[in-house]
Amino acid sequence: MSTLTFTHIGGPTALLEVDGWRILTDPTFDAPGRTYKFGWGTSSRKTTGPALSVEEVGEVDAVLLSHDHHADNLDDAGRAMLAGVPAVLTTVPGARRLGAPAQGLHPWETTTLTHPDRPTLTVTATPGRHGPVGARAIIGAVTGFGLTWEGQQHGAVWVTGDTVLTSEVRRVPERLQVGTVVLHLGGVRFPTTGPLRYTMTVVDGRELCRELRPRTVLPVHHEGWSHFLDSAAALQRPELAPDGGSTVWAERGKPQAVEV
């Protein structure tokens, strides 16, 4: 049985450590206080800094990058660290923008991470849509990631990435048996676009988990930025995993051990 050590650093940024592998999601390490523009009249202020610095995180083997074009998923300090990372997995257009060592994956495309002293990790890109119908043409592509390796007992580790709850996202468990889900929430909304949402709310997350039936839910991307409008619901730390599963609202910077 493998044990995953999960450390929530802040926003969507988390360190996943398993069987010698150190995988970082969506690097955001800028100091708080700055307002970032996201295009089309939208912006957000970073309200909380990371629990760990780039130096405190140390070397990582790979970065799983939901998308590169919004600063709440890749800010300046996060972008700077990519040059020292052996593997960066992201969307196809994102890889073109970033250049080497970034590798772009289409939805349901797979790649592997290998090391002579560790189990091979298979990484599967999962679908997502960062907003309402038609959003891809305006907002751009996003992706999630499923991680599988020999020795897992409870199914894949799925990092949803920034997405709303779409029919494609609901169908992920048809192709990927998920035991642990790193669930991007926040219910992102902007004044200029009214009621439109760009990530899942707590209610959406609970609905998705009813279909996934994961053993463990690890919510992220629900604090630290002004556009996370579902933060109040997240602060109540609701249970999202059904049928005896557990929801771990991890304290930022504090490692959590999860059986996978």
* β-bridge partners, 22: 17
Q: How deeply is 117 buried, as exposed, middle or buried, from its count of CB atoms within 10 A (0-12, 13-18, 19+)?
A: exposed
Task: Give the SS3 label for residue 76.
Answer: helix
Is pLDDT at 53 greater than 70 in this prediction? yes
pLDDT at 74: 98
Task: Give the SS3 label for residue 1.
Answer: coil
Distance CA 28, CA 159 (A): 16
Residue-wise pLDDT tens digits, 61-73? 999 999 999 999 9
pLDDT at 137: 78
- CA distances (Å), 179 to each of 108, 115, 213, 214, 257, in order? 18, 24, 8, 5, 14
pLDDT at 41: 80
Q: How large is the average pLDDT for residues 110-125?
A: 97
Phi, psi torsion values for 202, nearest 5 degrees: -60, -40
pLDDT at 162: 98
Residue-wise pLDDT tens digits, 200-212? 999 999 999 999 9
pLDDT at 38: 86
Distance CA 183, CA 67 (A): 15
Is pLDDT at 100 greater than 80 in this prediction? yes
Other Cβ atoms closer than 10 A to 241? 23
CB 78 within 8 A of CB 27: yes
pLDDT at 232: 65
The structure tokens listed for 189 are 């909304």
Lowest-confidence segment of 5-19, 34-48, 113-127, 243-257 by average pLDDT? 34-48
All residues at 6 or more sequence positions from 140 whose CB lies less than 8 Å from its CB, including other chains: 67, 69, 91, 93, 130
pLDDT band at residue 236, thresholds of 50, 70 and 90?
confident
Q: How large is the average pLDDT for residues 228-242?
A: 81
Is pLDDT at 234 greater than 90 in this prediction? no
pLDDT at 233: 64
* β-bridge partners, 145: 125, 159
pLDDT band at residue 229, thresholds of 50, 70 and 90?
confident
Tokens 């730390």 identify what position?
A: 237
Residue-wise pLDDT tens digits, 15-44? 999 999 999 999 999 999 999 998 778 899
**pLDDT > 70 in the chain, percent:** 98
Q: Beta 35-39 vs 216-220: how paired, if at all?
A: unpaired
**pLDDT > 90 in the chain, percent:** 84
Tell how many helices (H) and how many strands (E) occur in the chain.
8, 16
pLDDT band at residue 216, thresholds of 50, 70 and 90?
very high
The structure tokens listed for 178 are 């998920």
* Complete domains list, the chain, with CATH: 3-259 (3.60.15.10)
